[in-house]
Chain A
Amino acid sequence: MSYQTTTKDHAALAEAFIKDEERVDWHDGALWYIREKRDIASKGIPEWEELREAASQIKSNVISNLHDYLLQFEANLKKNGIVVHWADTPQEHNEIVYAILKAKEINQMVKSKSMLTEECGLNEYLEERGIGVINSDLGEYIQQIDNEPPSHIVLPCIHKRKEEIGELFHEHLGTEKGLSDPTKLTRVARKPLRNVFMPRRAALTGVNFAVAETGEYVVCTNEGNADMGAHLSEVQIASMGLEKIIPQKKHLGIFLRLLARSATGQPITIYSSHFKKPREGQEMHLILVNAGRTRQLGRPDFQNSLKCIKCGACMNTCPVYRKSGGLSYHNTISGPIGAILAPNLDMKRHADLPFASTLCGSCSNVCPVKINIHDQLYKWRQEIVKEGHASSTKVFGMKAMAWTLSSSDKLDKAGRAGRWFMQNVPFVVNNKLNPWYKQRDMPEGPKETFTEWYLRTNGD
């Protein structure tokens, strides 16, 4: 299985998504509904803003002392009998998982939701080596059978209509044609999903919070699939990015209250499962993955993006995300947070993402750990242009604009009264090739500019 990769940029992918107007109506509406649920939940807690501040400070502390916390965590994991692995790259991570499974001659694994393993391309890697992986989270399972990456970090198939899911189930699970009732569809999916847990000897989960003080980790799900897999497994593997650390167990009281409210408006996820020690006869492994995180840590303007707890609130509130769909970001993590994480991984490939925003700032306001997302989008734009990833026509246009506007004489020569603007500002060219004019009228040009009016009436 390998996802189709795209060479189109965000604008082109968004345009394609928008063509289906009804889908946009509904996608936008569904996510706005979740944003509203989040508003109600957060406003139900008087100390909400204090909680955000506390979470932000704890995470800042973690980022500043990551090295120490990681060593403390590692020591405690070992004490608890968990085998610790360090992976610098996605490739190394995949090799470690493969080696663990191979040693036990396991060729089937069940996986609960983990964006990190999506980032690493783990399923594909294992399948090429003859190991079958089933995603046990319903949304991810749907994406898996459709051979498409998740479009949202919390709601992996939010861009799909229920009718489309019915069609997929008809094709892959042999259900009757035309089934679109969500309850019925879920019941259908339950069967194959339940069945995969039993024979699978290995289970892999993601990690929401890793407690340095105790060497335990917490996984939050609504479906209980992480527990089901882990409890039945003979080998339990957890993969986590280095940034998932929190210092102490008591801090969970802050993060668990924020996470589900921010994500879906629920007070707490249905399951918040703590994993600490292997059962008798069970093996537990934990893989700490870098995959570019230390590089981001070394960028002062962007390091606090590592505070992210992957709640998805910034996506739900983002009008660009709601109207263009997660897949238009062509990166595992989409939306505003994806747009500030992706350029760190490959600046050239993701040079378009920081521009896929109006800098409206709503993302920073909903973020439970107060990441200044929109400021970082602005800063990435400067970085990307400096690194030479802007098109040459754009560079030329901007230079000409900067030169003309740097003096009023130059602007006068260029033709202050409309002529320069007519040629250089896109809203004024009355032709179908002009992106402004395609679906919008131009402003009506007045007889005189304000400057001219002022000089005329104030007797220059």
Chain B
Amino acid sequence: MKIALFIPCYVDQFYPKVGVATLELLEKHGCEVHFPPNQTCCGQPMANSGFEHLTHGCSDLFAKNFQGYDYIVCPSGSCTLHIKEHLGVPELAEKCYELTEFLVDVLQVKDLKASFPFRVGLHQSCHGQRGLKLAQMSELNAPPFSKVEQLLSQVEGLELVTLDRKDECCGFGGTFCVAEEALSVRMGQDRVQDHVKNGTQVLTASDMSCLMHLEGIIRRQKLPIRVMHLAEILNSVKVKEPQPVSLS
């Protein structure tokens, strides 16, 4: 199984460790992973701002870079959704998976062999949840499921925090985060508050963009919450005797 890793541009630039964790995690579960080094960006930031017509260059480059693999895996629901719905390359769209859905649906991972003995608060990113249907949406009258929680439940020692509003948007929203600065921050602060109130030690999500926004707020307010991408938690090594690591 030949897999191409797609690392969103801002993850490449600011969160290389998320890329590393994703790569290691996939290799750990027996995948042959390639990273086409000429990749740049899927074009989502422009498309969501109303400039879809300017994204052809990005789309063409993406198509060129990601030809010839069995799967394309990306640690971001939002970029994956863009590739599936707006890139305009159907052969690639159907091969593209967000990391958690790839682990659950394709690799069907049953034992992650990971350990993470903390109270973890999950931020359910909207594009992953409502766009890719990674979890049931609270608005619908339909049986509950969650691919992310399915994976987190395999992590030893991890305690999942119950939130007051389990799938409320964080207010990142691409260029919304600066165009509607006051509103975006207020939405983010309210999400963070939900985690503070319910005792989150480590805040996670399958989308780094939401986390970048929430982490910015957490650090500005000097709150004792650590932010980690889901891949980092799923990739955390199992120790024989689970012992708390210091949260500095």
Contact = CB atoms under 8 A, between A and B. Distances in A.
Contact of A421 (B13, B126, B141, B185): B13
Given A405-B58, A453-B20, A39 B126 contact: no
Nearest to B38: A408
A439 interface: yes
B217 interface: yes
Contacts of B137: 362, 365
Contacts of B45: 401
Contacts of A386: 53
B72 to A, nearest CB: 16
B52 interface: yes
Contacts of A49: 140-142
A360 B126 contact: yes
Given A362-B130, A443-B15, A450-B20, A356 B180 contact: yes
Contacts of B141: 42-43, 45-46, 48-49
B169 A360 contact: yes
Interface stretch (B102-110, B113-121, B195-203, B208-216): B208-216
A183 B247 CA distance: 52
A460 interface: yes
Contacts of B54: 398-399, 402
Contact of A18 (B40, B126, B183, B213): B183
* Residue from A18, A405, A435, A442 having most chain B Cβ neighbours under 10 A: A405
Interface in A158-213: none
Nearest to A386: B53
Interface residues of B, number: 75
A459 interface: no
Contact of B140 (A360, A365, A439): A365
A319 B14 contact: no
Nearest to B65: A408
Given A382-B50, A402-B58, A411-B40, 8 more contacts: A11-B180, A14-B180, A39-B139, A42-B141, A358-B173, A378-B48, A421-B9, A446-B16
Interface of B: 7, 9-20, 23, 35, 37-41, 43, 45-46, 48-55, 57-58, 60-61, 126-127, 130-131, 137-142, 165, 167-169, 171-188, 190, 212-213, 215-217, 219-220
24 contacts: A11-B183, A45-B141, A49-B141, A319-B187, A358-B173, A359-B48, A360-B130, A402-B46, A405-B43, A418-B13, A421-B10, A435-B178, A435-B179, A436-B177, A436-B178, A438-B181, A439-B217, A439-B220, A441-B216, A444-B14, A450-B7, A451-B37, A453-B16, A454-B35
